[in-house]
Amino acid sequence: MSATPQGHAPIPDELARRYWQAIAVHGDDPATDMCVHCRRHRCPEWAYAVEQLILADLLDSDT
* pLDDT surpassing 60 at residue 2: no
3-29 pLDDT, tens per residue? 555 667 789 999 999 999 999 999 999
**25 alpha carbon, distance to own chain's centre:** 11
Which H or E element spans position 18? helix 13-25
Q: Is the pTM of this model over 0.85?
A: no
Q: Are 41 and 1 in contact (CB under 8 A)?
A: no
Q: Where are the beta strands (DSSP E) in 1-63?
A: 28-29, 34-35
Q: Percent of the chain at pLDDT above 70?
A: 87
35, 28 in Cβ contact below 8 A? Answer: yes
